[in-house]
Amino acid sequence: MEPLRINARLTLPPKELQVAFSRSGGPGGQNVNKVETRVELRFSVRDSEVLGEVRRGRLMEKLKSRLTSSGELVLHASKSRHRARNVEDVRERLAELLRQGLHVDRTRRATKPTRGSKERRLKQKKQRSDTKKQRRSRPGDDG
């Protein structure tokens, strides 16, 4: 198995990915009972040698609901009847999960409303106020 490229700065070596095969469930006739096409991919975030402390901490935090108690990320694939396609599918899903987990959200900076937006808001308020004033009943009106 070749290394798995996550992004420009991170590539996982094959020794850190454990792949196991089993029989797939569901329809498929005789083939489903004798061919092991279901793929299980395990990657230990906690024990990885290529992740630094910062990356490891970020992944442990963002993916904590998907990790096992031992810090492993376990993914399954059984969409295809072909083992190779399932392996590629599960590897791509792992790469995407890790990309999302390593993504750093930009911090939000508070901004002030522009002068134009303030003026437009006040103008709309004034128009609404005038409309409601016209609806009010005046003393001496019937009704």
The per-residue pLDDT for range 41-66, each reduced to its tens digit, is 999 888 888 888 998 899 889 988 98
Domain CATH for 82: 3.30.160.20
* Sign of the dihedral through C-alpha 80, 86, 92, 95: positive
Does a structural domain hold residue 60? yes
CA 85 remoteness from chain centre: 22
143 has a pLDDT exceeding 70:
no
Nearest Cα neighbor of 73 from 140, 141, 6 is 6
Identify which of 38, 16, 21, 19 has the alpha carbon closest to the alpha carbon of residue 98.
Answer: 16
**The predicted structure's pLDDT at residue 30:** 65
Residue 130 placed within a domain: no
In a domain, 89, yes or no: yes
In-domain check, residue 142: no
Domain interval for residue 72 = 4-102
pTM: 0.68
Does residue 69 belong to any structural domain of this protein? yes
Decide if 90 is inside a domain.
yes
Q: How many CA atoms, within 13 angstroms, populate the side-chain half-sphere of residue 77?
A: 20
Position 117 in a domain? no
Is 107 in a helix, a strand, or coil?
coil
Into how many domains does the chain fold? 1
